Amino acid sequence: MGIINKTRYAILGVLHEGPTSGYEIKSLMGRSTVYFWRESDSTIYPMLKVLAMEGKVLPKTVYVGKKKKEVFSITEAGREEFKAWLESPTGSETPRNEFLLKLFFVADRKEMTRLFQERLEKIEGIYKEYKKIEERLESIADSPCKTIRLKALGYGIALLESEIQWLTNEIGRMQ
């Protein structure tokens, strides 16, 4: 089997929660999965067409006032594929991390210190953002989705805390 474009599963996952438009999928991902899985308009809309041709999603034209929009629903075949993907082993991942790429090539201590301080500021900002999201999620009514989303967020927070601690220690060693 060849490489499968995982965009399909990001979209099927969103549609698993209910019918929505391509714009709404992009908007939801921009508020949630963007922190660990980025998709753009140039990947979402073509994949929706592919999924529709495969019978995994069903497009329906609806009117909001005079404006026409296309809303997609997941089909039973789409649900089965999504379930099979969820149950399959997670594939290997090769992350792209510009900080690590720069660190690999940095040539002197001064530049390394600058790089670490820059990264620490960035990660602390993301950490604060995640904590605000956690606070917002904690304030909504209990649901299975809330519990699961808090687990995913907790994983991200733990990674950030670990990186903050590592960067702080490394900067301290260089002074």
Q: What is the mean pLDDT of residues 13-37?
A: 91
Q: What is the mean pLDDT of residues 23-36?
A: 89
* Residue ranges covered by each domain of the chain: 7-87, 98-174
Q: What is the mean pLDDT of residues 107-118?
A: 94
Is the domain spanning 7-87 CATH 3.10.20.30? The answer is: no
Give start and end residues of each alpha helix (H) in 7-108. 7-16, 22-31, 41-53, 76-87, 98-105
Average model confidence (pLDDT) across the chain: 92
pLDDT of residue 144: 82
Whether 41 has a pLDDT exceeding 70, the answer reads yes
What are 48-97's pLDDT values in tens digits? 999 999 999 999 999 888 899 999 999 999 999 999 999 999 887 777 78
List b or e across 77-114, with b for residues whose CB sees 16 or more CB atoms inside 10 angstroms.
ebeebbeeeeeeeeeeeeeeeeeeeeeeeeeeeeebee
pTM greater than 0.85 (yes/no): no
Place of tokens 């997941």: 74
pLDDT of residue 2: 61
Length of the chain: 175
- Answer for the pair 23, 71: CB distance below 8 angstroms, yes or no: no
